[in-house]
């Protein structure tokens, strides 16, 4: 038996290892050393978890619980997450290397999702329908879908899980969670809080392991009604086509290549901070990263110099320290992918103004760091401007006027987010209208809320998380017809 810390899955209310007894190790990106193990599940574990969720949905106490009681459970869970925020945030940092300050901020904010969607649980209403037929009464009911599979990536495990769990449970579904194989520990730790809050067995279950093994088995399972997925676009496309085989509902939150546009009339100091937070926060490992910085040519030199000067001051280091501003990349394959994209940018002809390599400091040698990197004179057709890197690599692209800025901003297969920095209110509104993205920020960047719908246009995804609309993606509508007539008329014609 290894001496690494072990985490267990929760299935039907029981903590358990995998059916085969195999384990997956998980490493700390700051030290590069393995620190924990999670069960490496297979098909048998998938069967067990889906069966438990299906039972809980169809016939367990959850199925009989009224919506107000469901809401109370969610709010109790929110209180418990608030109580354990520090502990859960520290686990996330060990697993994904993001800053403790960032993860603690997320964990302290997460209860709001459970309060908000808990409050929404008993406000899911159908309606009485007007009728064009005599002596019928018809109405709609809004019902949960059934078993929801929630598949999450490694960048913000508990936040991206919460965006799925809170509306799914508020709507009355049951859930099987498949966290990233790189960052499963915080999700497994969270499960104890579901038990403590009093959720019935089988309502929330976990299956850890590899995407190509348990991920595909979950997505193609006939008893699963919906897949809610966040991750890479290639995986998203594969999940979409697998789910289509038995017509499952899907929500896909995929990648982005978001434009962050600075006009000459903007408050330049603020815009520079917005550019930095857009790409170097979380070491660029966010789907909303403002990885394409579009700068109006008259301030191009000035903005480039200021962005480089501010990025140069970023403190790389131990993500648990409050003085650290940029942590490591979460996984070793991702660190290598980021370094490869630096070569891609150079080969494409972009000029490297900052970084472009691993840091040399001895103290950072074991961690999976990449220096904050800035490329200038990027053309929007270069690969570095078209493909999602998911790392601390900024491409600066010049433009002359509004039309050119808009055309470059929209010339991407993605459409997750965009930023516009300008003092001109009419231009701000024109851009919020014409940018093809699910979120547009004006004179700010990287704001999200439980109240604001979030999701992608184009290849950045399908469906919305957060806000009242999110719950619609976890419900279906039933129309009910009640005949009030004494006599049933001609059976050979439609009523």
Given the complex with ligand NAD, which of 71 and 231 has the nearer CB atom?
231
Choose one: 135-143, 226-234, 378-386, 464-472; the region binding ligand NAD (CB under 6 A).
226-234
Contact characters 369-408, ligand NAD, x per CB under 6 A: -------------------x-x------------------
* Distance, CA of 249 to CA of 247 (rounded, Å): 7
The answer to whether the CB of 445 falls within 8 A of the CB of 260 is yes
Q: Which of 253, 371, 388, 465 is catalytic?
A: 253
218 versus 314: smaller Cβ distance to ligand NAD: 218
Exposed / middle / buried, residue 417 (Cβ in 10 Å: 0-12, 13-18, 19+): buried
Instruction: DSSP for 138-162, please give it.
Output: EEEEEEE-SEEEEE--SSSHHHHHH
Check binding of 302 to ligand NAD (CB under 6 A): no
Name the nearest CA neighbour of 338 among 377, 381, 394: 394
By CB under 6 A, residue 259 contacts ligand NAD: no
Contacting residue, 37, 45, 102, 181, with ligand NAD by CB under 6 A: 181
Question: Which of 113, 121, 120 shows the shortest CA–CA distance to 158?
Answer: 113
x/- track of binding to ligand NAD for residues 317-356 (CB under 6 A) = -----------------x----------------------
| Least distance between ligand NAD and beta carbon 283 (Å) | 12
Q: Is 240 in the site for ligand NAD (CB under 6 A)?
A: no
Binding status of residue 432 toward ligand NAD by CB under 6 A: no
**CB contact at 8 A, 154 and 330:** yes
To 10 degrees, the CA torsion angle through 173, 165, 452, 85?
Answer: 150
- What sign does the CA torsion over 319, 447, 275, 254 have? positive
- 253 belongs to the catalytic site: yes
Residue 151, interface with ligand NAD (CB under 6 A)?
yes
In the block, residue with structure tokens 């520990």: 185
Among 12, 253, 318, 465, which residue interacts with ligand NAD (rule: CB under 6 A)? Answer: 253
| Alpha-carbon gap, residue 30 to 368, rounded angstroms | 7
Q: How far is the CB of 234 from ligand NAD (least distance, A)?
A: 7
Q: Is the dihedral of CA 479, 485, 488, 493 positive or negative?
A: negative
Least distance to ligand NAD, CB of residue 446, Å: 13
User: Which one, 208 or 304, has the nearer CB to ligand NAD?
Assistant: 208
Nearer to ligand NAD, 372 or 455 (CB): 455
User: Residue 297's CB: how many other CB atoms inside 10 A?
Assistant: 12
Please list the residues that pair with 395 across neighbouring strands. Answer: 292, 375
Closer CB to ligand NAD, 263 or 414, in the complex? 414
When the beta carbons of 167 and 215 are compared against ligand NAD, the nearer one is 215
For residue 321, the cross-strand partners are none
The reply on whether position 238 binds ligand NAD by CB under 6 A is yes
Return the CA Rg of the chain.
Answer: 24
Which of 178, 248, 257, 335 contacts ligand NAD by CB under 6 A?
Answer: 178
Q: Give least dist CB 321 to ligand NAD, A.
A: 24
Candidates 38-46, 113-121, 153-161, 307-315: pick the segment binding ligand NAD (CB under 6 A): 153-161
**Contact residues for 241 (Cβ-Cβ < 8 A; gap 6+):** none
Q: Are strands 224-230 and 147-151 parallel, antiparallel or unpaired?
A: parallel
Question: Does residue 235 touch ligand NAD according to CB under 6 A?
Answer: yes
Choose which of 103, 121, 197, 239 interacts with ligand NAD (CB under 6 A): 239
Residue 11 Cβ, how far from ligand NAD at the closest point, in Å? 17
Instruction: Please check whether residue 366 is in contact with residue 394, taking contact to mean a CB–CB distance below 8 angstroms.
Output: no
DSSP string, 350-395: -EEEE--S----GGGTTS-----EEEES--TTSHHHHS---SSEEE
Q: Which is nearer to ligand NAD, 154 or 399 (CB)?
A: 154
In whole angstroms, give the CA distance from residue 251 to residue 227: 6
Active site amino acids: 253
Binding residues for ligand NAD, rule: CB under 6 A, are 151-155, 178, 180-181, 211-212, 215-216, 219, 230-232, 235, 238-239, 253-255, 287, 334, 388, 390
């Amino acid at each position: 038996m290894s001496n690494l810390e072990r985490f267990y899955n929760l299935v039907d209310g029981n903590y358990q290892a995998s059916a085969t007894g195999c384990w997956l190790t998980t490493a700390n990106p700051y030290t590069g050393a393995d620190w924990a193990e999670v069960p490496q599940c297979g098909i048998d574990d998938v069967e067990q978890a889906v069966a438990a969720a299906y039972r809980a949905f169809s016939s367990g106490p959850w199925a009989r619980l009224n919506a107000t009681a469901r809401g109370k459970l969610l709010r109790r869970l929110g209180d418990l997450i608030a109580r354990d925020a520090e502990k859960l945030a520290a686990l996330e940092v060990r697993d994904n290397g993001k800053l403790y300050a960032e993860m603690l901020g997320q964990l302290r904010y997460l209860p709001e999702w459970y309060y908000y969607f808990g409050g929404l649980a008993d406000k899911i209403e159908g309606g009485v329908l007007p009728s064009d037929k005599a002596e019928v009464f018809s109405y709609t009911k809004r019902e949960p879908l059934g078993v929801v599979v929630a598949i999450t990536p490694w960048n913000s495990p508990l936040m991206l899980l919460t965006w799925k769990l809170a509306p799914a449970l508020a709507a009355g579904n049951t859930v099987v969670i498949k966290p990233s194989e790189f960052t499963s520990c915080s999700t497994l730790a969270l499960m104890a809080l579901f038990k403590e809050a009093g959720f019935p067995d089988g309502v929330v279950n976990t299956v850890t392991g590899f995407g190509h093994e348990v991920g595909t088995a979950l997505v193609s399972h006939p008893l699963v009604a919906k897949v809610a997925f966040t991750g890479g676009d290639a995986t998203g496309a594969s999940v979409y086509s697998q789910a289509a085989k038995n017509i499952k509902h899907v929500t896909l939150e995929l990648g982005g290549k978001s434009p962050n546009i600075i006009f000459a009339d903007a408050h330049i100091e603020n815009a520079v901070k917005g550019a930095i937070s857009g790409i170097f926060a979380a070491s660029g490992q966010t789907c909303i990263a403002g990885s394409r910085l579009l700068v109006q040519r008259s301030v191009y030199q000035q903005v480039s110099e200021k962005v480089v000067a501010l990025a140069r001051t970023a403190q790389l280091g131990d993500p648990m320290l409050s003085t650290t501003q940029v942590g490591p990349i979460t996984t070793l394959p991702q660190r290598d992918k980021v370094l490869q994209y630096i070569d891609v940018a150079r080969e494409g002809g972009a000029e490297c103004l900052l970084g472009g390599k691993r840091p040399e400091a001895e103290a950072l040698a074991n961690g999976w760091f990449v220096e904050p990197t800035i490329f200038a004179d990027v053309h929007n057709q270069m690969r570095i401007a078209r493909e999602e890197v998911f790392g601390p690599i900024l491409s600066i692209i010049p433009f002359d006027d509004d039309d050119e800025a808009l055309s470059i901003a929209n010339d991407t297969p993605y459409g997750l987010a965009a930023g516009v920095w300008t003092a001109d209110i009419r231009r701000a509104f024109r851009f919020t209208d014409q940018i093809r993205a699910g979120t547009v920020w004006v004179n700010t960047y990287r704001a999200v809320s439980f109240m604001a719908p979030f999701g992608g246009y184009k290849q950045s995804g399908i469906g919305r998380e957060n806000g009242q609309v999110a719950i619609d993606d976890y419900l279906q509508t039933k129309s009910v017809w009640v005949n009030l007539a004494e006599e049933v008329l001609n059976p050979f014609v439609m009523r």
